[in-house]
């Protein structure tokens, strides 16, 4: 939407000048000791982070702006598309030079296939920063009209705001319209073109000015090409030129002496009276005025009573913020409470003995069944999705590296030819994450964890409610109905569903396979009902594309099964099958027996091999071989009690790292000898030393990972390990090392205090990367990865933009682990 200024030109020009004045004021932007430009209210990062090595462009690289505490601008880089999507080409990073004397940062990059080298240099100047794109050689002919410098602006930060391009005003659309860019076929239509662009002139906290002294600026809406696209400002690189070919002046307005408001990190779910209760107050590093924190009890008539008050205790600096602890463990009276600090107040939370009792219900009642593949999932008036992928699956081609970390080796390792239909794979399993693939490593992790939850927390007397029944599963009709009981424990139905997917692989090809995933990228990034991804008819290459006989069709929309043998995968699958054989006994005896026979067969065959199958690619071919062996040995030992499995566990104790594998050893311990149990205690004591170090690294006392995928999973694994060690050796690890993992998930973490479990807690993640992310919505009970640490010091989790998969993508195995963890907390606190 672009509006000529017309008769209002003079008035708007004056308005623009007024809005621009703070930009032109004295600029104290400076290159700091962490190698980014900084002033109150603004950071300019220059290739502090790189594109995600696993999933290509993750909107976390290039030139970036953190504007009044929010990262609103990213991907300042030379790109070959006006509106790049995730899979479009990115350059390779060569080196980065930081010059404090010159107050500049220069990054050197290249496109190897095009033999195209360039650098991007950002230099502080009087008004803001000067950005240049520099070429040692002219642009290759093949890239003329294609290569340009792009800078991407977060749409959610500019919804309901305006822009000015030279003397023309426009508004940022909440939803895109118009033609999209089709690579090599159609160019997008610019929202505006000119030399001087101002984002949000009416809002000092979001106003950014870009002035080009060379090639014109073009403004695009990247969401037309892909829902996760951003607003893109672009200047094309001119042909036949070297040296500085693009020059921009970038100025961002800031509020004078801006200081980020305090954030009170606490559990949105609340606290059991007996547990430790510590809120973590996150402060701007320049905020030197430490105020009192208050715990306020909220009464039924709305009146409030301060029950505890005092200055929080300083913890110190972590990343870019200062942290203080407000300990209110002494308050045990049940009731409704809030915490205040200065003019900030949290949402209400409970102190109650039953605070965790129902916290896992949304995950079992909603999230897991919604993720079920090969069935229709219904909820009252709503269909979440139809019975999807009933045409699974075609044999993947050999020597093929695929997207989403799948690959097929030099042979199929099956009796099927590439492209041939493999019957029997169209049953069971869960959508892996916000996408729809069946990743075997995820499937067996879910099955194993659900079985251990079922066995650990007592299906006999059902003290913890694990016989809960709110979901009806009808395989004959391929129909799942939420909020409808069918007389069967839901957790056993979920175990059965995952087990069916695992056993189907062994039935079809005789071993575990990496997984099943879409053959085409346009199917992979599909958003919406999974049943619409294919016609659910088996592909027949002899038919025309529009031809069908009702059973087969000529439409190549079937998924590929990646089938390369991996001993790691085979062991991991066998572990889950052995565990499932116990849980399903008396529930589905035929399947239980088949699972045990298959698991024992896999173990025998793998042990008989002269050399294991070591095919490895991405994260789809199993964990470390020894770790997966340990899982299989443990589950088969628990199931059968046979000595050969005990011998394997004993051998692996000296070969496998104890941290994050403790649960398997401890679960095996009752069937082991005294020497093993003594060695286990020694390992646990050494782990305690590691734990002390982990818990002292940040004010939240949990491991906060710093990779391209945020660390909710690591926090849960850490808490579960601590649970097992505490149960075995209560004098070594305290129960608080379990509970603080839950506190982290529920809001006691950096950046904000939302619960990372959707629909659990007073305020939780309501915009997440699930199958319905295009609707800016969530799936109840899903757990997001959480707080992503961007180098060098910025913790981030966006609630206004679901498309950051590293922060917001639900992953199904976290659901099972979370169910276990909540029940573990309930057990520890009820003792």
Could you tell me whether strands 192-194 and 217-221 are parallel, antiparallel, or unpaired per DSSP bridges? antiparallel
- Residues 6+ positions from 654 with CB-CB distance below 8 Å: none
- pLDDT at residue 27, rounded to an integer: 62
- pLDDT at residue 4, rounded to an integer: 33
- pLDDT at residue 10, rounded to an integer: 36
pLDDT tens per residue, range 660-679:
899 999 999 999 999 999 99
For residue 559, CA distances in Å to 351, 441, 574 come to: 49, 18, 24
Q: What is the token pair recorded at 402?
A: 């695929």
DSSP-derived letter for residue 397 is P
Among 560, 185, 161, 565, which residue's Cα sits nearest to residue 391? 560
CB 266 within 8 Å of CB 748 = yes
Estimate the crossing angle of helix 490-509 against helix 589-608, to 10 degrees: 50
Distance CA(8)–CA(167), nearest Å, equals: 10
* Rg of the Cα atoms in the chain: 28
Distance CA(645)–CA(786), nearest Å, equals: 38
Residue 717, SS3? Answer: helix
Distance CA(751)–CA(790), nearest Å, equals: 12
Backbone angles phi, psi at 580, to 5 degrees: -60, -30
CB 86 within 8 Å of CB 228 = yes
Distance CA(764)–CA(756), nearest Å, equals: 6
pLDDT tens per residue, range 131-171:
999 999 999 999 999 999 999 999 999 999 999 999 999 99
- pLDDT at residue 160, rounded to an integer: 97
pLDDT tens per residue, range 623-648:
999 999 999 999 999 999 999 999 99
Could you tell me whether strands 394-395 and 560-562 are parallel, antiparallel, or unpaired per DSSP bridges? parallel
Judged against a pLDDT cut of 60, whether residue 201 lies above it is answered with yes
Tell me what percent of the residues of the chain surpass a pLDDT of 70.
97
- pLDDT at residue 57, rounded to an integer: 84
Among 770, 775, 761, 780, which residue's Cα sits nearest to residue 808? 770
- pLDDT at residue 707, rounded to an integer: 87
CB 413 within 8 Å of CB 511 = yes
Distance CA(132)–CA(102), nearest Å, equals: 15
- pLDDT at residue 307, rounded to an integer: 98
CB 293 within 8 Å of CB 307 = no
- pLDDT at residue 51, rounded to an integer: 83
Residue 20, SS3? Answer: helix
Tell me the average pLDDT of the chain: 94
In this structure, of 177-181, 216-220, 275-279, the range with the lowest mean pLDDT score is: 177-181
Judged against a pLDDT cut of 70, whether residue 506 lies above it is answered with yes
Judged against a pLDDT cut of 90, whether residue 16 lies above it is answered with no
Q: Is the N-terminal amide bond of 393 cis, ω within 30° of 0? A: yes
- Residues 6+ positions from 46 with CB-CB distance below 8 Å: 36, 37, 62, 63, 64, 76, 96, 105, 106, 107, 120, 122
pLDDT tens per residue, range 49-82:
998 766 778 899 999 999 999 999 999 999 999 9
* Residue spans of beta strands (DSSP E) within 380-437: 382-385, 394-395, 400-401, 407-408
**Helix residue ranges, H only, 313-432:** 361-362, 368-370
CB 598 within 8 Å of CB 512 = no
For residue 241, CA distances in Å to 135, 214, 237, 238, 244 come to: 8, 12, 9, 7, 8
Query: Which is more confident, 57 or 569?
Result: 569
Among 204, 194, 205, 152, which residue's Cα sits nearest to residue 170? 194
Among 430, 359, 520, 481, which residue's Cα sits nearest to residue 771? 430
Judged against a pLDDT cut of 80, whether residue 776 lies above it is answered with yes
Q: How confident is the model at residue 305 (pLDDT cuts 50, 70, 90)?
A: very high
- pLDDT at residue 618, rounded to an integer: 92
- pLDDT at residue 462, rounded to an integer: 80
- pLDDT at residue 166, rounded to an integer: 97
Residue 441: its H or E element: helix 440-456
Distance CA(392)–CA(193), nearest Å, equals: 48
CB 691 within 8 Å of CB 662 = no
Distance CA(102)–CA(95), nearest Å, equals: 18
- The half-sphere exposure of 374 on its side-chain side, counting CA atoms within 13 A, is 23
Among 814, 799, 634, which residue's Cα sits nearest to residue 720? 814
Estimate the crossing angle of helix 643-653 against helix 625-640, to 10 degrees: 140
Q: What is the token pair recorded at 330?
A: 């002494």
Q: Is 569 exposed, middle or buried (0-12, 13-18, 19+ CB in 10 A)?
A: buried
Q: What is the token pair recorded at 619?
A: 């994260």
Multiple choice CATH, 358-623, 1.50.10.10, 3.40.120.10, 3.90.1150.10, 3.40.50.1370 = 1.50.10.10
CATH no. of 2-252:
2.70.98
- pLDDT at residue 459, rounded to an integer: 77
Tell me what percent of the residues of the chain surpass a pLDDT of 90.
93
Query: Is CATH 2.60.40.10 the right assignment for the domain spanning 263-351?
Result: yes
Distance CA(737)–CA(466), nearest Å, equals: 24
Distance CA(121)–CA(136), nearest Å, equals: 13
pLDDT tens per residue, range 690-713:
999 999 999 999 999 998 899 999
* Domain ranges within the chain, ordered by starting residue: 2-252, 263-351, 358-623
Judged against a pLDDT cut of 60, whether residue 15 lies above it is answered with no
Distance CA(350)–CA(359), nearest Å, equals: 13
CB 422 within 8 Å of CB 389 = no
CA 66 to chain CA centroid, Å, is: 21
């Amino acid at each position: 939407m672009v509006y000529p200024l017309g008769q209002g030109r003079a008035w708007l020009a004056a308005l623009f000048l007024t809005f621009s004045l703070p930009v032109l004021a004295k600029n104290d932007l400076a290159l700091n000791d962490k190698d980014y430009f900084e002033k109150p209210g603004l950071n300019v990062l220059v290739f502090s982070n790189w594109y995600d090595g696993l999933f290509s462009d993750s909107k976390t690289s290039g030139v970036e702006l953190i504007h009044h505490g929010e990262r609103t601008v990213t991907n300042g880089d030379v790109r070959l598309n006006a509106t790049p999507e995730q899979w479009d080409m990115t350059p390779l990073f060569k080196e980065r030079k930081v010059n404090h004397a010159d107050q500049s940062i220069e990054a050197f990059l290249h496109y190897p296939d095009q033999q195209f080298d360039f650098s991007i240099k950002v230099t502080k100047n009087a008004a803001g920063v000067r950005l240049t794109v520099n070429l040692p050689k002219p642009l290759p002919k093949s890239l003329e009209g294609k290569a340009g410098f792009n800078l991407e602006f977060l749409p959610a930060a500019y919804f309901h705001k305006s822009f000015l391009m030279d003397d023309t005003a426009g508004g940022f659309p909440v939803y895109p319209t118009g033609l999209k860019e089709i690579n090599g076929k159609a160019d997008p239509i610019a929202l505006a073109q000119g030399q001087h662009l101002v984002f949000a002139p009416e809002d000092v906290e979001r106003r950014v000015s870009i002035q080009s002294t060379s090639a014109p600026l073009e403004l695009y809406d990247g969401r037309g090409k892909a829902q996760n696209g951003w607003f893109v400002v672009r200047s094309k690189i001119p042909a036949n030129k070297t040296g500085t070919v693009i020059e921009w002046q970038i100025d961002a307005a800031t509020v004078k002496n801006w200081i980020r408001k305090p954030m009170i990190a606490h559990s949105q779910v609340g606290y059991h009276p007996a547990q430790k209760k510590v809120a973590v107050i996150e402060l701007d590093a320049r905020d030197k005025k430490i105020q009192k924190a208050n715990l306020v009890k909220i009464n039924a008539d709305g009146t409030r009573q301060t029950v505890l008050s005092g200055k929080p205790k300083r913890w110190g600096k972590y990343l870019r913020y200062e942290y203080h602890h407000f300990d209110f463990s002494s308050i045990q009276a049940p009731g409704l409470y809030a915490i205040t600090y200065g003019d900030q107040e949290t949402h209400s939370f409970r102190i109650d003995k039953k605070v965790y009792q129902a916290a896992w219900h949304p995950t079992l009642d909603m999230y897991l069944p919604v993720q079920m593949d090969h069935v229709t999932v219904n909820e009252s008036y709503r269909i979440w999705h139809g019975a999807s992928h009933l045409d699974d699956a075609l044999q993947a081609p050999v020597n093929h590296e695929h997207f989403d970390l799948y690959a097929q080796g030099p042979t199929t390792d099956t009796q099927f030819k590439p492209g041939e239909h493999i019957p029997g794979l169209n049953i069971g399993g869960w959508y892996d994450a916000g996408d729809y693939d069946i990743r075997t490593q995820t499937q067996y992790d879910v099955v194993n964890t659900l079985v251990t939850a079922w066995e650990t927390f007592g299906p006999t007397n059902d003290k913890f409610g694990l016989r809960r029944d709110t979901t009806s599963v009808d395989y004959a009709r391929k129909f799942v109905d939420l909020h409808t009981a069918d007389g069967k424990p839901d957790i056993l139905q979920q175990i059965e569903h995952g087990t069916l997917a695992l056993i189907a692989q062994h039935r079809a090809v005789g071993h575990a396979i990496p997984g099943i995933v879409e053959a085409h990228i346009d199917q992979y990034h599909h958003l919406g009902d999974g049943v619409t991804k294919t016609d659910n008819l088996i592909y027949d290459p002899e038919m025309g594309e529009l031809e069908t006989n009702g059973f087969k069709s000529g439409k190549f929309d079937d998924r590929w099964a990646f089938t390369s043998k991996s001993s790691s995968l085979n062991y991991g699958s066998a572990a889950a099958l052995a565990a499932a054989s116990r849980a399903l006994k008396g529930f589905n005896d035929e399947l239980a027996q088949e699972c045990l026979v298959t698991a024992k067969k896999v173990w025998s065959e793998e042990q008989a091999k002269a050399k294991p199958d070591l095919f490895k690619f991405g994260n789809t071919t199993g964990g470390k071989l020894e770790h997966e062996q340990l899982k299989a040995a443990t589950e088969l030992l628990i199931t059968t009690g046979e000595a050969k499995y005990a011998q394997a566990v004993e051998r692996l104790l000296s070969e496998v790292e104890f941290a994050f594998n403790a649960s398997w050893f401890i679960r095996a311990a009752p069937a082991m000898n005294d020497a093993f149990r003594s060695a286990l205690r020694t390992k646990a004591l050494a782990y305690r030393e590691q734990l002390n170090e982990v818990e002292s690294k940040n004010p939240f006392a949990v491991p906060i990972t710093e990779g391209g995928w945020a660390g909710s999973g690591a926090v849960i694994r850490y808490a579960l390990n601590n649970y097992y060690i505490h149960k075995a050796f209560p004098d070594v690890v305290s129960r608080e090392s379990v509970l603080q993992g839950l506190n982290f998930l529920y809001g006691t973490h950096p950046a904000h205090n939302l619960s990372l479990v959707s629909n659990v807690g007073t305020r939780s993640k309501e915009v997440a990367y699930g199958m319905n992310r295009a609707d800016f919505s969530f799936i109840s009970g899903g757990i997001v990865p959480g707080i992503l640490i961007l180098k060098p010091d910025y913790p981030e989790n966006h609630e206004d933009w679901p498309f950051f998969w590293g922060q917001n993508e639900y992953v199904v195995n976290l659901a099972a682990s979370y169910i276990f963890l909540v029940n573990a907390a309930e057990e520890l606190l009820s003792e």
